[in-house]
Amino acid sequence: MNGYILAALAIWIGAWTLNEWLVRQRPASAEAKQAIGIIVPVIFGATLLAVWECLVHGFQIPPILLPAPSAIWVKLVNSAPVLWADFQQTFLKSVITGYIAGCGLGFAVALLIDRSPFLQKGLLPIGNFVSALPVVGIAPIMVMWFGFDWPSKVAVVVIMTFFPMLVNTVQGLASASHMERDLMRTYAANWGQMLIKLRLPAAWPFIFNALKINSTLALIGAIVAEFFGTPIVGMGFRISTEVGRANIDMVWAEIAVAAVAGSVFYGLVALAERWVTFWHPSVRGGRA
């Protein structure tokens, strides 16, 4: 057993011991609890990278199978302009545009369904059917309809994000209890007043659940759609092209950019959820 493998074992055991000690602490201040909540995953992530680096060198794994994190970092730095162009094409154009359009359309249609029992019984089953369609089947059709540029990827993202938002919003609007609705009726509240003051606040946890789910679905859909036709730019295009060229470090660099972008996007939605639903027991319990 060479030194790299021993170093990987030592790093893993040391980090595991440190994290076990940290999570067992019961600090009195909320700031200390938040600090521990941040430090523990940071240590765990850094440990994975360090162990990965040591094992790649220790077992002499060929770079074409698994490059070391240091090699991926070098490729990230040296290929920053290319990665930024791919990020703009995939995330800023396709993901953000499709996410806003799909979630907004799903929310609007949910309001229409809430007003129409016919749509509720007729459209929701179709929505469940369409949401089960694989993206690898939808993407080529959207490319044929809307062309090779980013609008076809937006169409794929819209389809993937529309129905989760639709279903969750409908369920959220129906989550208000009958007693609460009867109380609003005794105040002579109309549909719009009940929606704004009762049903929409009750639906916010469901809506944000859909927003968080869609934040990952949108990125996955856009990247997969680029495999089926795109200009010479984009995360999916770069991954499929560089795999054929055996530039696996570039593939991992694109994966790293996508992972960071998706995590930040999800985190921003989660922060917005805490700000909007500060009254919800799950949020109040997390702040306690």
How many residues belong to the chain?
Answer: 288
Burial (Cβ within 10 Å: 0-12, 13-18, ≥19) of residue 264: exposed
Give me the CATH topology for the region 78-287: MetI-like fold (1.10.3720)
Distance, in Å, from the CA atom of 136 to the CA atom of 170, rounded to the nearest integer, reads: 27
Output b/e per residue, 71-102; b: 16+ Cβ within 10 A. Answer: bbbebbeebeeebeebbebbbebbbbbbbebb
CA 69 to chain centre: 23
Per-residue pLDDT 10s for the chain (288 aa) are: 578 888 999 999 999 999 888 888 888 787 888 888 889 889 999 999 999 999 998 888 898 888 999 999 999 999 999 999 999 999 999 999 999 999 999 999 888 888 877 777 777 777 777 777 777 778 888 888 888 888 889 999 998 899 889 889 988 888 877 777 767 777 777 777 777 777 788 888 899 999 999 999 999 989 988 888 777 888 988 998 888 888 899 999 999 999 999 999 999 998 998 888 777 666 655 554
Distance, in Å, from the CA atom of 71 to the CA atom of 73, rounded to the nearest integer, reads: 5
Does the pTM surpass 0.85? The reply is: no
The domains of the chain are located at 3-62, 78-287
Looking from the CA of 160 toward its CB, the CA atoms found within 13 Å total 33
